[in-house]
Chain A
Amino acid sequence: MSPSTSKSALWRGVLAGLPFIIVVVPFAMLFGVAATEAGLPLAQVMGFTVLVIAGASQFTALQFMIDNAPVLVIIASALAVNLRMAMYSAAITPYLGDQPLWKRAVLSYVLVDQTYNLAILDFEENPDQTTAQRTAFFVGCSLPLIPLWIGFTWVGAALGGQIPPEYGLDFALPIAFLAMVAPALRTVAHIAAAVTSVVLALVLGFIPLNLGLLVAALIAMMVGAEVERRMA
Chain B
Amino acid sequence: MTYSDTTVWWIIAALGLGTFLIRFSFIGLIGSRPMPPWVLRHLRYTSVAILPGLVAPLVVFPAATGGIPDPARLLAAMVTVAIGYRTKGVVGAMLGGAATLFAVQYLLG
**Chain A residues at the B interface, C-beta cutoff of 8 Å:** 16, 19, 22, 38-41, 44, 47-48, 51-54, 57-58, 61, 65-66, 68, 71, 74-75, 78-79, 82-94, 96-98, 101, 104-105, 107-109, 111, 113, 116-118, 120-121, 165-166, 168, 170-185, 189-191, 193-198, 200-202, 205, 213, 216-218, 220-225, 228-229
Contact = CB atoms under 8 A, between A and B. Distances in A.
B10, B12, B93 — which one has the most chain A CB atoms within 10 A of its CB?
B12
* Category for how many chain B residues contact A: 35 or more
B38 A225 contact: yes
B29 to A, nearest CB: 9
A178 B105 contact: no
A205 B85 CA distance: 26
Nearest to B84: A182
A224 B97 CA distance: 26
Given A96-B27, A101-B31, A117 B51 contact: yes
A174 B23 contact: no
B59 to A, nearest CB: 5
B53 A178 contact: no
A189 B45 contact: yes
B93 A228 contact: no
A108 B24 contact: yes
Given A57-B15, A197-B53, 8 more contacts: A54-B19, A90-B39, A93-B27, A97-B31, A117-B51, A178-B55, A182-B84, A225-B45
Nearest to A61: B15
Contact of A101 (B15, B28, B52, B73): B28
A82 B19 CA distance: 7
Given A93-B31, A165-B64, A168-B72, A48 B52 contact: no
